[in-house]
Structure 1
Amino acid sequence: MSVLEQSRHLVTEIPGPRSRELAERKNGAVSRAVATTMPVYAARAFGGIVEDVDGNRFIDLGSGIAVTTIGNSAPRVVDAVRRQVGEFTHTCFMITPYEGYVAVAEQLARLTPGDFEKRSALFNSGAEAVENAIKIARAYTRRTAVVAFDHAYHGRTNLTMALTAKSMPYKHSFGPFAPDVYRAPLSYPFRDAQFSKELATDGELAARRAIEVIDKQVGAVDLAAVVIEPIQGEGGFIVPAEGFLGALADWCRNNGVVFIADEVQTGFARTGAMFACEHECLVPDLIVTAKGIAGGLPLSAVTGRAEIMDAPHPGGLGGTYGGNPLACAAALAAIETIEADGLVERARRIETVMKDRLNRLQAGDPRIGDVRGRGAMIAIELVKPGGVEPDPELTRALCAGCHAAGVIVLSCGTFGNVLRFLPPLTISDELLHEALDVLSDVLANL
């Protein structure tokens, strides 16, 4: 395994000639509906650096959208996958099962919140796992309705599009969507403060607002599940006011509603805890994981209370590739890396470094309306100076400027005005500071 030098280095204009050639090939072979954020094509990646086909090296503050949490091509993952490839690549767990799947389920039972007996089922993508969590909740409760929240993102399948709040680009022209899905207001402190300081800071008050909407729209008697991201991902890295999640979970428990935590983006040390719900001592009935679970290989899971997970009939869950042996080997190695290398603590250090720099940047720039997030899941919300009006144009320009200068950053948010930072937990402080220097310079020049 070649180790890539951990430094930013530009040798061509961005994009370079080889990337432009590949872009032309993409235009002739790939659906135009599959868009790309960066204008460059990757050739190698290791740790916190991505190198393109022209030899340019970029500081990675995206981690493939929170996937390569332990760094790209993490050594334990590479070794584990190589060993597994030499044994077998696929049998289908539903035909001839194998130990790796069972071992991943055992680790999930150990790591996820709650001291009760647990079960897991493995799938391929976050959307697939969310959809199966809803199936499981419906089988358990014998109810059908589901509640999701404003600004939510849960995937691109038909049911998860219904759960997702933002229309463009995720839902536009793809309906009709799965029925019996309802939406409640999220606690969004930065924007709630426009209406009420108390609402912005009192999570229990914000939860009462949401519960009133749920009661009016559907009522607990018909409600199978409430599904929520403990920190919203695509919706803008929104951290609800303290107490919001706990009050919702209590209401669900008191009304026989399954509380599902979608930790696809927040899970596996990303937020400075193994799972984001731990920040509020929250114990979901079901927890959905993917992205950072397997160091870059496609794997997802639903884990939860044994009596809920066992509610569907035998054969009711599964899939040809779910819990692929290569992905399971990678997941076991990724978990080992997180624990052996102290990456939960490292995520907290990254939060300190990034928030210190970004808060200082905000103090001198009224275009930064908010700095928020936990661990290595940090964001800035960009606004027109003097208020809270979103500024998506500035966000696009800032992203493009960072890309041209050799830093991978991603935007998000319902209004397209949030810049999100998802560095691998193995990134050095030096690379972090250099990336933030670039960000600061580009913002100053816009």
Structure 2
Amino acid sequence: MLAGVLTAVLLLLPDDPARRTPGDSRATPERSAGASGGATPSPTPSPRTAPIAASKMSDFGPDALDRTLQPEDWRPWAVSFEGPGAADDCALSGDVLVCRLRDEPTRQTRLEARDASDGSRLWSYPAEGEATSLLGVGGLDVDDRHAYVTAADGEGFEVLDLSDGKPVARLPGRTGYDPSVVRVHDGRIFTSYAGGAGAGLAANMLFRAYDADDRTQVWERVIPWAFPPSLDIVGDRVWLTGSQATFTLDPETGKTLAEAPWNCDRRIRGALYDACNGRVVDARTLRPVGNGTYPGIPEAVSREGLLLVEGDGRRAGSRYIAAVDVRSGDERWTVPWTRGDSVVVAGDRLLAFGGDGVRTFALADGAPGAALSTVRNWPLEGGTAGSNVQPSVVLVSGGAYFLAFGDGTVMTAPVP
């Protein structure tokens, strides 16, 4: 056992989470009314809110461990999603956690939203009994008001009210193209569509941008040889890769700002650096960074420029994660790791989730911190006698982690 690690047992509340009516308002400070005949006092500053968190991210930002940004009345909880299927993608906005559930035997997918404070069910999409297309629903993203997803009938993208899941708008499709991914950023909605020939072939990726307020189309492009699911936002640019090139686009006009003649191996959502064809690049400009050393496909990428990659072989009898400086290519530190465990960055820490529960390490030097080796309601392999299951989805926000597992369990607890 690593020296200095604090091991604890976290007992989640065993009672059923209190139900909250979908769309319940949350208390917010009111502006002060001016006294009669006097000057109006300065408005009360708006409370800070937690940034949007999505499960395809690997760095949840400097405020991820700030407990003052937890959803109102949050407490640890663990529940199961209703119906068959397990989450393969989730996003958290304020006090609403939305997950895409996939039922492997039927290949059907749907959304289910939970109150992030207590785990109570808020809504599902499509509504119960409503059929979905063969492609199901996907491309999930959220902002502070809406959830965005491919429409259940396969025709374009649906804009859903985040509080109750009801459709409020439809972003249209186009004949011969299948909706793929939607991303929302800074007042724009970006969508991608795959042509019938399949991803990565000539003239079969359609790109569109819409105004997030009135949903009017701002621009449209068809880009050959591209991969529709690769759509991402990096800093102030739209990003995509394909079989022959990687691009970044101006979000206002859709014009190409940078292009590089390579394919990037695996995109981590929103990461400022990427590993592409044997080199490390700035994901905005696509220019090689530092000496361009390629240490391997990263498990996580920090905003400050650390690539967290699987080490070569073993150290001290264990597989390990190495923190590699993106500019110099130097290895800064290593921590023990089990293949398949999720590693993410939150604030100034690296968090690892897996068969050992939750472990924390200082991002500055890899020093071990607090850990939770036993967590009640964490699913176990083979029942009560088994070991912890590795989570399939990880989110960190407000000093808490939100996990989903292959058996349909979803849970949240404080970061140790």
TM-score by length of 1: 0.25
The higher-RCO structure (CA 8 Å, 6+ apart) is 1
Name the structure with the higher strand share: 2
TM-score by length of 2: 0.26
